[in-house]
Chain A
Amino acid sequence: MMHPDLTALLITLKLAAITTLILLLIGTPLAWWLARSQWRFKFLIETVIALPLVLPPTVLGFYLLIMLGPNGPLGGLAEALGGRPLAFTFTGLVIGSVFYSLPFVVQPLQNVFTAIGDNVMEQAATLRASPLDRFFNVMVPIARPGFLTAAVLGFAHTIGEFGVVLMIGGNIPGETKVVSIAIYDHVESLEYAQAHILSGGLLLLSFLMLMAVYGLNRRFSVLRS
């Protein structure tokens, strides 16, 4: 039997990894669209994406709980498809984290896509590169610092989430209990030693990840605004 704190850590890392992957997949086209679209109501979408930056996580968690529960649209759908309601499951946690960390992935990508501008893409087009070819062989490599920033911020922010998890994940060991909740539990039960280990570990991890972003982005002189 694995130590419950280690289990919590693995769940946290798994949650952050899956969330980051999903966010890169949906965040890239979304950020690309935001960077290129001339639609006049684009700002509304930008506002919605930025909401998790300012909203108390408990508010976000509360609405997600309603949505993911058996009577909510997403939870109901999951049940109709033969699953169980999404609230208090790992899947529910992933959905919640995707919303919660969305701005941390979309915004760096949007910034880097905007900064790169149309010029290189147009050049690539005149050099016979099709739209997908130029996206993957020109835009992505040039935007690498932005992708790195987006991935690390998304990952780190998901690791740090607490309020949303508390609302929709509950505290099921081995399924939804993440490190931040485990720390809370330890403090509640006055187990400061364990709380120290987990907190210190998280602090170190976050520090190292952010340091990697800033350190690596320094090397890419191409795009530093």
Chain B
Amino acid sequence: MSLQVRLNIPRKDFAINVSLTVTSSQITSVFGPSGCGKTSVMRAIAGLENSATGHIQMADEIWQNADFFRPPHQRDIGYVFQDASLFPHLNVFDNLQFGLRRQPRDKRRVSLEQAIELLSLSPLLKRSVDKLSGGEKQRVAIARAVATSPSVLLFDEPLAAVDIQHKQEILRYIQSLHQELDIPMLYVSHAIEEVARLSDNLVLLEKGQQLASGETVDLLSQLNLPFARYEEAAAVIDTEVTGHEDDYGLSLLRFADGPIRVTRGQIPLGHKVRLRILARDVSLTLTRPQDSSILNIFPAVVESMVADGTAMKLVRLNAGGQIILSRVTAKSADKLALKPGMHLYAQVKAVSPLI
């Protein structure tokens, strides 16, 4: 099942133009700064944006085209809003049941018990919704959407109203939903860490225009896109656990020319892991350092580089097929005489597995 979307939404100062496809078992992120039109796109898919024109199709079911508009309550979606505002007159359990009860039995694929289980809501069921924390509210909102067995799940900045300690927790829940249920997801956010962590595909939106779209791993390491100029510019790498060094509490992950080592606990063998390597954590040397405390040192070739302000340069490296980014000072770049095609060594000071 896949959701195909081609939309034009007029706005006061610009028009939003997007075209995207969300295929089953994938998370597609729509990323862009506040006010770029991300939320309007989500609302239009849900049928809540009256001024939107275009074509929306879920599998072979048309939701909207030039002469047809399926009202929101007849679109098979699960929508998680920014502020999770639950129905204040219903308790948690009744909130969860609201959408489920309105879905015909033959369309129910997710049971209420399953939704409660997936979001660990059993202890909260009898709670009144104004007695929930921000994170708990959002979990209820997600479960409520999931319980309708939607064909696509739409997340509109679901972490915006969640305090920082609980953001990770909610992200883990979303990831586990993704593993347990075969429901395509569309995730809108202006936080690059969330997008880097969750999404398979990425649509970059700026002032309503689709600047780029493609695989998250590819786009994040492209120097001509705005990501490269972020303070947290980073390469994202999908890999898996190939071994352990138990004496040192390290896990070995498959990487280009040899394993990359991370300290993050004992991740089971064969487990898929997404790594994020920040450009500022990668330094460059011309010869392989022999007496460095840094574990992860890889031979690499400079692919391209771009100025990042006057003092810094961002370098895109190919380490045996894996792309990583490095941010160095312009002075160091000159001293090392960096240029495309050059062979050197990348020292990775820190690697964060996104689990």
Contact = CB atoms under 8 A, between A and B. Distances in A.
Interface of A: 119-120, 122-131, 133-134, 138, 141-142, 144, 221-222
Contacts of A131: 73
By CB atoms of chain A within 10 A, which of B77, B81, B88 has the most? Answer: B88
B102 interface: yes
Interface string B54-82: 00000000000000000111110111010
A128 B85 contact: no
B88 A127 contact: no
Nearest to B85: A119
A130 B73 contact: yes
B271 interface: no
B146 to A, nearest CB: 11
B187 to A, nearest CB: 16
Given A125-B72, A127-B99, A128-B103, A120 B85 contact: yes
A125 B74 CA distance: 8
B58 to A, nearest CB: 14
A142 B88 contact: yes
By CB atoms of chain A within 10 A, which of B46, B71, B73, B79 has the most? Answer: B73
Given A122-B72, A133-B102, A221-B130, A127 B89 contact: no
A126 B78 contact: yes
A218 to B, nearest CB: 15
Contacts of A119: 81, 83, 85
Interface SS, A side: helix
A127 B97 CA distance: 10
A217 B250 CA distance: 60
A129 B145 CA distance: 13
Which 7 A-B pairs give the minimum distances between C-beta atoms? Answer: A127-B99, A128-B102, A126-B79, A125-B72, A141-B89, A222-B88, A125-B73
Contacts of B74: 128
Given A126-B72, A126-B79, A127-B98, A120 B148 contact: no
18 contacts: A120-B88, A122-B72, A123-B81, A123-B85, A123-B87, A125-B47, A125-B72, A126-B48, A126-B72, A128-B74, A128-B102, A128-B148, A129-B73, A129-B102, A130-B71, A138-B89, A221-B130, A222-B130
Contacts of B85: 119-120, 123
A114 to B, nearest CB: 16
Contacts of A124: 73, 87, 98
A26 B130 CA distance: 33
Given A133-B102, A221-B130, A125 B48 contact: yes
B247 to A, nearest CB: 53
B316 interface: no
A142 B89 contact: yes
A119 B103 CA distance: 21
Contacts of A123: 79, 81, 85, 87
Nearest to B79: A126
Contact of A126 (B77, B83, B88): B77
Contacts of A129: 73, 98, 102
B120 to A, nearest CB: 21
B139 interface: no
Given A125-B72, A126-B78, A126-B79, 14 more contacts: A122-B72, A124-B87, A124-B98, A125-B48, A126-B75, A127-B73, A127-B99, A128-B73, A128-B103, A129-B98, A129-B102, A134-B73, A138-B87, A222-B130
B327 interface: no
Nearest to B90: A141
Contacts of B46: 122, 125-126
B88 to A, nearest CB: 5
